[in-house]
Structure 1
Amino acid sequence: MVKVAIAGIGGVGGYFGGKLAQYYQNSEEVAVYFIARGENEKVIRQQGISVETPSENFTAQPRLVTSDPLQIGEVDLLICCTKSYDLEQSITQLKPCISHNTVILPLLNGIDSYDRIKAVYPENEVWDGCVYIVSRLTAPGHITVSGDINSLFFGSEEGTIAKLEQVLQLFKAAGINATLSQNIQQTIWEKYLFISTIATLTSYLNASMGAILEKKESIDLLHSLLHEIMQIAKAKGIIVQPDTIQKITTRMAKLPYETTSSMHSDYLSGKTTEVDSLTGYVVKLGEQLQIPTPTYTQLYTALKAREAR
């Protein structure tokens, strides 16, 4: 029996965890567990998780949903979909699920998840991963996906090949659009170029992606952010394609007009945000690599001041 636990049943964990729970609901070979809290845990236990997408709606029941990792015990694969600011705290609390054989796969917005998890569990196999999806927890136990992008990429330079292939098949069988990336660092940075600039700009301007693309001033700001983060990516050995800026603006234009970032949504609802991982980390890398990031620094300072208020 392969035991899979998903920690953090929000937009990302709820969609991909929901797909896994739906397919393996009655399986004798794979058991899917959810780690959730509060009203979310209560509703999923009573009614299952309901997922609404433009192409399908479904409800799924995991083997168990609980806020207590002890009830699940050690698992083979732990998929972390918590917020980046919660990572160390949540990964430490998940210790009852983690044996030396447990593979940990973070699907977070930042690019430093691997290092942060390795610092807590140096003996474990930690992979890297990222997703492209516009998905929100719109009510307890209810996930709403907008747009038709729902891709999952994962990989590891040091991971066990047999385990990587096994998980790929496990994802694909469940109908997940998963890719085992041969250069996961490149893949993660390509996502980070997009999510960091978009999260920073939508939050700073308090505007949707459609609204940003309507004004020359906001497009100029977007280009400034992209130029700065691309210089950092190149210094880190990442291959940045010449048409990266065009690709990102095209991707923005394909999304519904009102689409925004989860960071912007968190600002609007007064929640803790991922500004340190998505904006501040670029400033930090710039300082380390001695690469100027004036636009990122200006917007980060403004966003931190807003968060403090």
Structure 2
Amino acid sequence: MPRSPSSPGRDSWGSTSTDAAPPRTLVVGPGAIGGYVAARLTDAGWPVSVVARGATLEALRDRPLRVTDGGVEGEVRLRVVADPAEAGEVDLALVCVKSFDTEGAARAVRPALARGAVVLSLQNGVGNPAVIARECPDAAVGGVAVYLGCQRLAPDHVVRRPSRDPSTGRLRDLLAGGGAGAPGAALAAVGAAVGVPVRVDNDPAAALWTKLVANVCLNTVTALGRARVGRVFAEPAAVELMLALGREVVAVARAAGVPVAPDAAEAYIADARRRLPRDGGSSTLFDLENGRRLERDALVGAVVREGARLGVPVPVSRACDALLRLNEAPSA
């Protein structure tokens, strides 16, 4: 398929032209984040194709995606494909699969990328952009830390619970990172279309590692305790465990030269205590409850690996990683 003259491409992502056509976009993995973003981009008039498989593919081919956004119900009919090749040539790919599927997803996406295409990882973990860049060497690749409060209740139903400052009502959801040049410009365009605040960083590493602090704190403890947020914060020992985990993430990040704030763990715990719904959980807890494979290896497992590589002691992360392994399915 020839590239449209108005298609962004690597050299024109930063263009502010108001008549530029939206980028032809491929969303890989219509889970909680991917489904929500695909729906909102479709609503905004972007030409979006969604790569799905299994029950999700069947459900979204059969009926619209139901979106509950801040209590408001809606339905969006998505263009769903089983193979990226069915989407034609795309200018932007958003990888939203679980981290253990990143390599395969990136390899499948590569033939569909137009010249100058951007690929953004909207995933948990810190290693996904490097995996994507290895599989898609001609693309401009960026990593995004996603704070959207999304959960998938069924293959055809995603829920977003926006986070707002309790005193001002200001939206606190955020897409952060991206990277210099085309990835950052693409992230800004996505945020504007979806209606979510964006912070573009020339180097997304700090954003990704700061999000890892949050993921390791909350995901690990809610999953191991099989407990929702309210119960976790009501137990002082559980809060101390989250702090210990978060501090180890910070220590590893700073040893790696990533400028994560020294008090990132304390800041996250204080913010989460105020902001998170009492009946909320984490993606790892929901995966565990539904018998799905866990992202352990990309979250607390990454802290253990990087700690060993850098000579940073992470005894709490190591113990929790071992316990989470016991909760994984034997084939995981």
- Provide the residue aligned with 1:54 in structure 2: 70
Runs of 4+ in 1 over 6 A off after TM superposition: none
For the Cα contact (< 8 Å) 2:93–2:118, is it kept in 1? yes
Q: 1:216 aligns with which of 236, 248, 257?
A: 236
For structure 1, the 5+ residue unaligned runs are 25-29
Report the alpha carbon displacement of residue 57 of structure 1 after superposing the two structures with TM: 2.8
Q: Could you tell which deviates more after superposition, 142-151 or 216-225?
A: 142-151
Q: What is the alpha-carbon distance in structure 1 between the residues aligned to residue 253 and residue 325 of structure 2? A: 24
Spell out the pairing of 1:147-296 with structure 2 (5 A cutoff). Answer: 147-148=162-163, 150-157=173-180, 159-160=181-182, 164-165=184-185, 168-253=188-273, 254-296=275-317
For the Cα contact (< 8 Å) 1:130–1:153, is it kept in 2? yes
In the alignment, structure 1 residue 6 sits paired with structure 2 residue 27? yes
Q: What is the alpha-carbon distance in structure 1 between the residues aligned to residue 110 and residue 143 of structure 2? A: 19
Relative to structure 1, is the Cα distance of residues 19 and 283 closer, same or farther in structure 2, using a 3 angstrom cutoff? same
For the Cα contact (< 8 Å) 1:155–1:180, is it kept in 2? yes
In the alignment, structure 1 residue 119 sits paired with structure 2 residue 140? no
The share of aligned pairs that are identical, in percent, is 26
Which secondary structure does the structure 2 equivalent of 1:79 belong to? strand
Report the alpha carbon displacement of residue 168 of structure 1 after superposing the two structures with TM: 1.8
Q: 2:58 aligns with which of 42, 51, 65?
A: 42
Q: What is the alpha-carbon distance in structure 2 between the residues aligned to residue 283 and residue 5 of structure 1? A: 33
Q: 2:40 aligns with which of 6, 13, 19?
A: 19
Matched residue count: 300
For the Cα contact (< 8 Å) 2:116–2:138, is it kept in 1? no
In the alignment, structure 1 residue 139 sits paired with structure 2 residue 154? yes
Which secondary structure does the structure 1 equivalent of 2:148 belong to? strand
Q: What is the alpha-carbon distance in structure 1 between the residues aligned to residue 329 and residue 186 of structure 2? A: 45
Normalising by structure 2, report the TM-score: 0.84
For the Cα contact (< 8 Å) 1:9–1:36, is it kept in 2? yes
Q: Could you tell which deviates more after superposition, 122-131 or 270-279?
A: 122-131
Report the alpha carbon displacement of residue 255 of structure 1 after superposing the two structures with TM: 0.8
For the Cα contact (< 8 Å) 2:31–2:155, is it kept in 1? no
Relative to structure 1, is the Cα distance of residues 154 and 33 closer, same or farther in structure 2, using a 3 angstrom cutoff? farther
Normalising by structure 1, report the TM-score: 0.90
Report the alpha carbon displacement of residue 80 of structure 1 after superposing the two structures with TM: 0.3
Report the alpha carbon displacement of residue 170 of structure 1 after superposing the two structures with TM: 4.8
